[in-house]
Amino acid sequence: MKVLVCGGAGYIGSHMVRHLVGDGVSTVVFDNLSTGHRESVGDTAFVRGDLLDATQLRDLFSQHRFDAVMHFCARSLVGESVQQPYAYYENNVAGTLNLLQAMRDASVGKLVFSSTAAVFGHPESELIDESHPTRPINPYGASKRMVETILEDAARAYGLRSVALRYFNAAGASPQGDIGESHSPETHLIPNMLRAANGDAPSLKVFGNDYSTPDGTCVRDYVHVDDLADAHSRALDFMASNEGAHAFNLGNGAGFSVMQMIHAAGEVAKQPIPFEIAPRRAGDPDRLVASSGKARRELGWQPRYTDIADIIDTAWRWHRNPRY
């Protein structure tokens, strides 16, 4: 089994690479290092390249015989996507089309795609399952939904087998503490809390405390990166016996408010997280919590990290001593 991991030098992708290598799967990483880190994949085979360069992709597929592709590449900042929609559609949609065409030319017929809770837009129910309408409210979410549609069409036209995994909030890091989340600028809550705890960043800005949630701050569903990696491996197995394009929501099914997260992180770091209340951030829905019953039933997926303190603790191991 040989797997191409596009975007494997990024936060989630690097945890996937470690998971595949641990399972003895031959792995090649393709990444332009726009937001990723070469150090995060150690001595795994690495090709620096860009999905927007069709020639590089053709060369890659001519040099290797891949059984499947995992595709983590994206621009993924919601606010930036509103400001720069062309850049988002170009990288996330046109880049993915280049990849799909190269796969087709090389007769590679299986893809696991990183989708997102942002395909749903404003939540219409407490728990979001796969029957929830997909009405994205920003270009980032729209770009991911477009790719899901392309995958549905590709299944019908070319027989491509695919699984779109819609992560809610990816969180935590390898418990070994040697790979983790490192973005610049960092926009995600857990790294920003832990950098404030470390003194690496000023106090955490809490974006709005007037949402219609119990304490007024936004509620999210945090799911550990190693559990996401496990779901990808299960998706590979699933495609061996299932044709077509499939989508699964991945979360723990438990919501935590920003204030609850600050409290939990303070307990893990054994010091209070300095914070201040700031204006709302554009595009943040009140509450996003997954129903992952379909992934449990059809993929046999069972997250191992269900305690928010354990999830934050793995991130804290990284943030105390980040390597990149």
Ligand X SMILES: O=c1ccn([C@@H]2O[C@H](COP(=O)(O)OP(=O)(O)O[C@H]3O[C@H](CO)[C@H](O)[C@H](O)[C@H]3O)[C@@H](O)[C@H]2O)c(=O)[nH]1
Active site residues: 140
Two structure tokens written together for 281: 């951030």
Shortest Cβ 16–ligand NAD spacing (Å):
9
CB 308 within 8 A of CB 264: yes
Positions 257 through 286 that interact with ligand X (CB under 6 A): 258, 281, 284
Shortest Cβ 186–ligand X spacing (Å):
8
73 binds, among ligand NAD, ligand X, none (CB under 5 to 8 A by kind): ligand NAD
Among the listed ranges 10-18, 100-108, 285-293, 298-306, the one in contact with ligand NAD (CB under 6 A) is: 10-18
Shortest Cβ 221–ligand NAD spacing (Å):
10
Name the DSSP letter for residue 298. Answer: I
CB 173 within 8 A of CB 225: yes
Of 52, 82, 97, 201, the one binding ligand NAD (CB under 6 A) is 52
Residue 91 contacts ligand NAD per CB under 6 A: yes
Q: Which residue, 44 or 143, is less far from ligand X as judged by CB?
A: 143
CB 295 within 8 A of CB 301: yes
Residue 148 contacts ligand X per CB under 6 A: no
Residue 218 contacts ligand X per CB under 6 A: yes
Among the listed ranges 93-101, 185-193, 235-243, 293-301, the one in contact with ligand X (CB under 6 A) is: 185-193
Of 192, 291, 292, 314, the one binding ligand X (CB under 6 A) is 192
Contacts of 267 (CB under 8 A, 6+ apart): 309
How far is residue 68 from each of residues 11, 166, 201, 202, 310, measured CA to CA in Å?
20, 19, 40, 43, 32
Two structure tokens written together for 321: 């001593």
Number of residues that bind ligand NAD (CB under 6 A): 26
Residue 228 contacts ligand X per CB under 6 A: no
Residue 145 contacts ligand X per CB under 6 A: no
Backbone angles phi, psi at 222, to 5 degrees: -95, 125
Of 1, 22, 23, 34, the one binding ligand NAD (CB under 6 A) is 34
| 297 residue type, one letter | R
CB 285 within 8 A of CB 218: yes
CA–CA separation, 72 vs 11, rounded Å? Answer: 9
How far is residue 39 from each of residues 33, 228, 263, 323, measured CA to CA in Å?
11, 21, 32, 8
Tokens 């290092």 found at? 33
Residue 76 contacts ligand X per CB under 6 A: yes
Residue 10 contacts ligand NAD per CB under 6 A: yes
Q: Which residue, 7 or 303, is less far from ligand NAD as judged by CB?
A: 7
10 Å CB burial of residue 166 (0-12, 13-18, 19+) is: buried
Q: What are the start-end ranges of the H helices in the chain?
A: 11-22, 54-63, 78-83, 85-88, 95-105, 139-158, 189-198, 225-241, 258-269, 293-294, 308-319
Residue 94 contacts ligand NAD per CB under 6 A: no
Shortest Cβ 41–ligand X spacing (Å):
21
Residues that bind ligand X (CB under 6 A): 76, 116-118, 169, 187-189, 192, 204-207, 218, 220, 258, 281, 284, 288
Residues that bind ligand NAD (CB under 6 A): 7, 9-13, 31-36, 50-52, 72-74, 76, 91, 95, 114, 116, 167, 169-170
